Amino acid sequence: MESLLGVHLHDYESKITSTVRKLSEVWDELELEESDRQDEVGRAAKEAVGSWDAAYDRSLQQKMKLLSQIEGMQREISSTQDQLGQPQTDFAYQESFQGSLMKQYRIIKEELALWRNRKVQRMKEIEALQAKISHLHVCIGRTMHARSFQDLTATELERLGIEIARLQDERQKRQQTLESALSDLRSQCDELGEDAQSLAAEAHPTLLHLGPDGQCAGDDEVDVSDKTIKQLEQKMEKLRRLKAERRQQAATLLGTLEGLWDVLDTADDDVDRRKFQTMLDGPMRVHASTFIKVREEVERLEGRKAEMIRKMIDVKRRELEEICTESHMPVPALPSSGAAPESQAAASAQVAEVLAKVVKQVSAAEAEAERRSCILDAIEELQTMRAECSWLAEYDRDDSRYKGRDANRKLQRAIKAGKARDRMPAVIEHMQGMMEAWLESEGRTFVYDGRDYMDVLGNLKEEVEAEARERAAAHQQKTQGARKAAASTPAKPGMARGGTLRPSTPRTPASARAASPGVPTVVPVGGQAQPRRTPKLQTPRGESMPGSAKDGQAPSRKTARSGSRLSLATEEKMNNVLKSCTLPPPTTCKKTPLSVEAKAQPLSVRVQEEALTPSISSPTRMRSPFSVAAAADQWKSPKPQIPKLPIESLPRTRSF
């Protein structure tokens, strides 16, 4: 210490001398007073003394810290000895030995490490025992609360050993209980054809290690908790319920098989039938393999049943198509069978549902066809009339229509077709009324062969009107040509070109004619108003006009039915439609014979809008529902349905 201090003092002295010399130079430059210089030297010396005092204080603090550490280690050693149940060490006796403070620190530190190792070993022993106890608690299914390592004495070790022995005995008893339950489970599974190992594993995986003797295979342990025992009991109860359900299912499957056998007409002495009856009535009726075989048989029979139902569906489908075709209805979409079923039983139920829907569709189609029947009859009659009108158009274009063997039959048919053509607008209006009634009652339009028949009637009405206009235009053009020809060639007195004018049937008096609307009256100059007879264009001798009588007889209908292409039923339907579209004849038309004065009056016609109309119609035509006046009163048509003859179509004569 002295040598170290001497070296330090020598260095310190030289350092001070050098520093004072430098300070003197600086002070000289600053011209400091002597007193100021002494003050500076005093402060420097004071600071130097303070540095040594600080060094002493630091050393003293280190000593106190070391003493504190020694006391802490002594307390820890005493606490550890107390936890381990060992007698405490007398540290006052150890301090009496000579030695430095650091030496005492090293001795106490070594002793503390020794007691720490003893404590760690004791804690490991107790921890191992507690882990074993915890494992036994888990096996038994109990919850163990965490314990602290406060008691590390040998007494605690002994107590833990006793608890371990008790838990091991309890686990052994529980294993025996589990083995008894597993034995019952195996017997039930053998009867039902179930896997006992898988059921035991579902209760707890460790049960697979338990052998028939109640011992575990190898070092594996079995969970013997209350939860495992309870789950095993639940499995047993489940097997008992399964056994009861299978008995009921066996009876149900037997009934299902008998029903399928009856549906498929299987004989009572059939080999498969007797085999499955014996299987479902014997002791193996609840075995899983029995149900597999029975369900396979049910699937096979259900497949045959489904095939039979599909054939029935095809029959009903054809019936539905026939009904829709006959009624001109759109065929409804057949019910979809959906996705392909996974089993034949599902397929059978699926096709049975489809069959029920198809049967329902057939019933609905039959009901709708019944409601549509009256409209369909009217449509058929309308189509017949339309066909007759088309035939009449071709007939009118035939120049040789009055020649040949069937001329009379065709003439009679043309007369009827002409009447049908005249009635066509009224029939169309009547059909439109039926369409509106259908729409009001059914809530949808009447569809015929995929088209709204109201639109069809509208188009047909336009066609009929267009054809009427074309006929009128063609007739007008024809009569204009005849008029020009008549104007260029003078007629002989009392004769008309191409024929003669003959008196018509008796006329109605002027009073009756005045009461009838639409009948013109001719008033000669200077005379009384007299009804005029209708001029009648006659053909040359030996040739008759279509529809005219011969020798005072009505046109013969002998060949109209026998030689006509129309059947009697079609003709009758057409007549019925014509009758349904007409009104009763006017009551004012009475057959009144012409007087002598009327016969003596010259024959005249009324000219209106460059058309020639008879002055008076015959009583027979007035009574006829096909007369022009009756048709005009009924239809209220703005245009005449029968084109009027132009003035030039007949030569004007005054004698017969």
Q: What is the pLDDT, as a whole number, of residue 25? A: 84
| Cα–Cα–Cα angle for 27, 31, 37, rounded to 5 degrees | 50
Please state the domain extents for the chain.
Answer: 19-152, 165-252, 324-495+557-581, 586-656
d(CA 80, CA 117): 10
Longest CA–CA span in the chain (Å) reads: 194
Those residues whose C-beta lies under 8 Å from the C-beta of residue 619, and which sit 6 or more positions away, are 505, 506, 508, 589, 590, 591, 592
Secondary structure of 122-161 in the HEC alphabet?
Answer: HHHHHHHHHHHHHHHHHHHCCCCCCCCCCCCCHHHHHHHH
Closest Cα partner for 408 from 610, 594, 554?
554
Q: What is the pLDDT, as a whole number, of residue 640? A: 39
Both tokens of residue 451? 């088209």
598 φ, ψ to 5°? -65, -40
Closest Cα partner for 437 from 428, 446, 447?
446
pLDDT averaged per 10 residues, the chain (length 656): 63 80 83 82 82 84 87 84 76 60 85 87 85 81 64 79 86 83 85 83 76 54 80 88 89 88 86 86 84 88 87 91 91 70 67 89 92 92 92 89 88 92 91 92 91 91 90 88 81 48 41 38 39 37 35 35 43 45 40 44 38 36 36 41 40 36
d(CA 445, CA 436): 8
Outline where DSSP puts E strands in 255-410. Answer: none
Q: What is the pLDDT, as a whole number, of residue 446? A: 92
Distance of CA 219 to the CA centre of its chain: 61
Q: DSSP of 490-556, one letter per residue? A: PPPTT-BTTB-B---SPPPPHHHHHHSTT---B--TTS--BPPPPP-B-PPTT---TT--BTTBPPP
Report DSSP state, residue 96. T
Check: pTM over 0.85? Answer yes or no. Answer: no
Q: What is the pLDDT, as a whole number, of residue 497? A: 45
Report DSSP state, residue 422. H
Q: DSSP of 160-175, one letter per residue? A: HHHHHHHHHHHHHHHH
Task: Evaluate whether 545 touches 352 at the Cβ level (below 8 Å).
Answer: no
CA dihedral of residues 617, 620, 624, 629 (deg, nearest 10): 10
Task: Evaluate whether 464 touches 428 at the Cβ level (below 8 Å).
Answer: yes
Residues in the chain: 656
d(CA 269, CA 250): 21
Element (H, E) at 563: none
539 φ, ψ to 5°? -90, 165
d(CA 280, CA 353): 30
Residues facing 448 on adjacent strands: 451
d(CA 274, CA 276): 6
Report DSSP state, residue 452. E
User: Helices (H), strands (E): how many in the chain?
Assistant: 18, 5
- Written as one letter, the residue type at 533 is R
Those residues whose C-beta lies under 8 Å from the C-beta of residue 31, and which sit 6 or more positions away, are none
- Written as one letter, the residue type at 244 is A
Residues facing 570 on adjacent strands: none
Task: Evaluate whether 516 touches 622 at the Cβ level (below 8 Å).
Answer: yes
d(CA 238, CA 198): 14
Residues facing 611 on adjacent strands: 608, 646
Q: DSSP of 627-656, one letter per residue? A: SHHHHHHHH--SS-SSPPEEGGGS---S--
CA dihedral of residues 323, 324, 327, 329 (deg, nearest 10): 160
d(CA 429, CA 424): 9
Q: What is the pLDDT, as a whole number, of residue 581? A: 40
Element (H, E) at 595: none
d(CA 416, CA 422): 10
